[in-house]
Amino acid sequence: MHMINPSCGIERDPRGVVRLTIYNAGSLNILGSAAINGVREGLEALAGEPRIRALVIAGQSEKSMIGGADIKEMARLDQASAEKFITGLRDLCEAVRAFPAPVIARIPGWCLGGGLEFAAACDFRVAAHDAKFAMPEVKVGIPSVIHAALLPRLIGWGRAPLADHDRGHHRRAHRAGLGVGRYGGAGGRARRGGRGHLGAILECAPEAMRSQKALLKQWEELPLKESVDLSIGVFGQAFLTGEPQRLMQGFLDRKR
């Protein structure tokens, strides 16, 4: 193992395959600004090597490749620093999307929020039996942004509005199309139809959910780069509502 920097190390094999492992981000590989910048720098350094035939990205542990972005750091952000943080994450996702050789994301365990955005920016995703995917940001006051714009293209527009709260097993990640959920059946049970979606919506922050819906509508019409870039400002504006600071701190307090 050769360490490019404290956040990423690489291993090479004779076939031209390079494995990049994310280090020093905790057992779930939760990425703060330092790790985001370190992994991006590692990708940019490798991008200039024409002999690389494939790049495999993995986490240091088997709990995740990237579990998500660092809520502890985000809870302290304001509008300006939030835009700076999410711009760094955008640049990381762009670095992997622009990598000249095929990139394979190796995904065990949790793949949430920024981790799923990064995975979506890779060319291929291979998931372990215990892989779980979700974009739960709206529960802590922020919309899913930047390369979340890839998700409707990958899983279908019908599923995209549900991806924000759905902690699905990896087999469910293959379902796309109409995004049809299930309800109890005929008769009295039918009246309970939609409670799954309704309950999930009500768990989310109201302003963040409105921002998310507006973004999804814009993403239907815009090219990918414009979709990614316009969402940076939307992310920053979320911090003007007070929802992220209040809900993220509440999440952190419950974890203590």
> Quick check: is 85 in a domain?
yes
> Quick check: is 128 in a domain?
yes
> Quick check: is 101 in a domain?
yes
Query: Domain total for the chain?
Result: 1
Q: For 138-172, how does the pLDDT look when each residue is reduced to its tens digit (9 = 90+)?
A: 999 999 999 999 998 888 765 554 444 444 444 44
Amino acid at 191: R
d(Cα 163, Cα 175) in Å, to the nearest integer? 11
Q: For 57-91, how does the pLDDT look when each residue is reduced to its tens digit (9 = 90+)?
A: 999 988 999 999 999 999 999 999 999 999 999 99
> Quick check: is 133 in a domain?
yes
> Quick check: is 251 in a domain?
yes
**CA triple 138-133-191, angle to 5 deg:** 65
> Quick check: is 192 in a domain?
no
User: Which residues are paired to 105 by β-bridges?
Assistant: 57, 125
> Quick check: is 191 in a domain?
no
> Which CATH number fits the domain that encloses residue 246?
3.90.226.10
pTM recorded for the entire structure: 0.84
Encoding tokens for residue 18? Answer: 């390079």
> Quick check: is 193 in a domain?
no
Show the domain range for 123: 2-174+200-255
Three-state secondary structure string covering 160-193 = HHHCCCCCEECCHHHCCCCCCCCCCCCHHHHHHC
